[in-house]
Structure 1
Amino acid sequence: MAMRSVRIVRIYLREGEHLLSKLIKFLHEEEKVAGVTVLRGIAGFSTDGKIHTASLVDLSLDLPLIVEFYDLPDRVDAVIDKLTSRLALDHVVSWDATIHTPL
C-alpha cells in the first residue's frame, strides 16, 4: 500500500449564505483539487448564536453545510489563501493526514 501526505480542509457554511455553488465551482473547475465532499447538517449554530435546525415545520433552508476537500499541503495552502480572499470565508479548518492507496 502506498501512502502520501495530504492536507484536509473543512469549511463551515450555512445554506442561507448562498456560497455553496460558487465554492464547488471554484474547487472543481479552477483549482481542480483532489476530492470534495459536502455534508448537510441537521442542526448547528455559529458565532451569531442562532440555532439552525431541520424540522418539518421549518422550511427556511438555512441548515449548516460542511464542505471538505483534500490535496497536497502546498496546493491546499494556496487554495485557502484564494478562497478566504475571494469569498470572505470565516470558518476554515485544516489538518494534515495520510492517504492510503493501492500500489
Structure 2
Amino acid sequence: MATKTVTIVRVYLREGENLLSDLLKFLHDEVQVSGVTVVRGIAGFGADGKLHLSSLSDLSLDLPLIVEFYDTPERISPILQALESQPGITHVISWQSTCYIKQL
C-alpha cells in the first residue's frame, strides 16, 4: 500500500445553526477537498452547556453535527484560514495522519 500524509479536520456544528449546507458547498464546490463525511450526533453539549438529545419523546432538530474532511497539509492550510473568517464556525480541530492507499 502506498501512503501519504494528510491533515484531517473536524468542524463541530449544531443542526439549528443552519451552517451545514453552506459549509458543504464551500468544501465541495470551492475548495474541492479529497473527502468529506458528516455525522449526526444523538446527544451532545457545547460551550453554552445546553444538552441536546435525540429521543422518541423529544425529536430535537438541533442535534450535534460533525463535519470531517481531509486533504494534503498544503491544501488544508488555506482552507483553515478561510474557515476562520466564516461566521458561525467556532469549533474546529485538525491533526496530521497517514492515509493508506490501496493501488488497484
TM-score (ref. length: structure 1): 0.95
What are the within-5 Å matches in structure 2 for residues 22-41 of structure 1?
A: 22-41=22-41
| Letter of the structure 1 residue corresponding to residue 11 of structure 2 | I
The answer to whether structure 1 residue 19 and structure 2 residue 19 are counterparts is: yes
Provide runs of 4+ in structure 1 moved above 4 Å: none
| Letter of the structure 2 residue corresponding to residue 84 of structure 1 | E
Structure 2 distance, partners of 1:30, 1:9, is: 17
The answer to whether structure 1 residue 102 and structure 2 residue 102 are counterparts is: yes
**What are structure 1's unaligned runs of at least 5 residues?**
none
Structure 2 distance, partners of 1:87, 1:39, is: 21
Quote the offset at 1:59 in angstroms. 2.6
Structure 2 distance, partners of 1:75, 1:87, is: 21
The change in CA–CA distance for 1:14 and 1:88 in structure 2 (over 3 A counts) is closer
TM-score (ref. length: structure 2): 0.95
Who is 1:49 aligned against? 49
CA RMSD in angstroms comes to 0.9
Structure 1 distance, partners of 2:28, 2:13, is: 18
Give the number of aligned pairs.
Answer: 103
CA contact (8 A) 2:53 2:60 kept: no
Who is 1:80 aligned against? 80
| Letter of the structure 1 residue corresponding to residue 70 of structure 2 | Y
